């Protein structure tokens, strides 16, 4: 009920009794409830008028669909015509983050040991260098007369 707790409700009732008095309070409650009922009837009749003006193709139109979140949820996420669930499920963010962390710390993601087996990680087979090149390692500068490698993506 409007996110009002029992203690707050009691405080509002006591405040209303103090402001309006016990003799006027029942009439005020009747007036407020009558006004709320009229507003609700007015809003429902306005909705029905809009639905009738829109025509039969909008007979199942709901005004809650005008909320952008509800609209996206109804028309994009529920139908899934674009295969968004497959794309969303195809990402393994935790594995990607572990790969990035391994690359930053200089570890190879392929040589991790199984913690349950208790075995140590296997040593790289190519003479001590990691299986993948370390992209974060600083590259040697070319000699003075040598041109740097061409990078088509950078130009």
Q: What is the pLDDT of residue 30?
A: 94
33 shares a domain with 74: no
Using the structure block, give the residue that is written with the tokens 């993601």. Answer: 109
pLDDT category at 3 given cuts 50, 70, 90 is confident
Average pLDDT of the chain is 75
Query: How many distinct structural domains can be found in the chain?
Result: 2
Nearest to 109 by CA among 91, 125, 132: 132
54 shares a domain with 79: no
52 shares a domain with 72: no
Using the structure block, give the residue that is written with the tokens 């674009």. Answer: 82
pLDDT higher than 80, residue 151: no
Nearest to 108 by CA among 121, 126, 95: 121
Which of 3 and 128 is assigned the larger pLDDT?
Answer: 3
80 shares a domain with 51: no
- pLDDT tens digits along 87-101: 767 777 788 888 888
Beta-carbon count within 10 A of 83 CB? 9
- pLDDT tens digits along 98-137: 888 888 888 765 544 444 444 444 444 444 454 565 666 6
d(CA 89, CA 84): 8
Which structural domain range is residue 3 located in?
A: 1-58
Task: Establish if 153 belongs to a structural domain.
Answer: no
Q: What is the pLDDT of residue 42?
A: 96
d(CA 108, CA 129): 10
53 shares a domain with 11: yes
Which of 16 and 79 is assigned the larger pLDDT?
Answer: 16
Beta-carbon count within 10 A of 77 CB? 11
- pLDDT tens digits along 40-82: 999 999 988 888 888 888 777 777 777 888 877 777 666 655 5
């Amino acid at each position: 009920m409007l996110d009002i707790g029992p203690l707050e409700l009691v405080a509002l009732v006591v405040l209303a009794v103090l402001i309006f008095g016990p003799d006027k309070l029942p009439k005020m409650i009747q007036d407020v409830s009558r006004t709320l009922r009229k507003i609700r009837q007015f809003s429902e009749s306005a909705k029905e008028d809009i639905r009738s003006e829109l025509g039969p193709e909008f007979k199942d139109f709901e005004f809650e669909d005008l909320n952008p979140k509800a609209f996206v949820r109804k028309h994009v996420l529920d139908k899934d015509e674009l295969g968004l669930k497959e794309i969303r499920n195809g990402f393994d963010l935790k594995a990607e983050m572990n790969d990035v962390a391994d690359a930053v710390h200089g570890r190879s993601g392929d040589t991790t040991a199984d913690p349950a087996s208790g075995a140590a990680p296997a040593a790289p087979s190519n003479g001590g260098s990691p299986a993948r090149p370390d992209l974060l390692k600083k590259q040697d500068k070319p000699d003075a007369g040598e041109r740097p490698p061409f990078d088509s993506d950078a130009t």
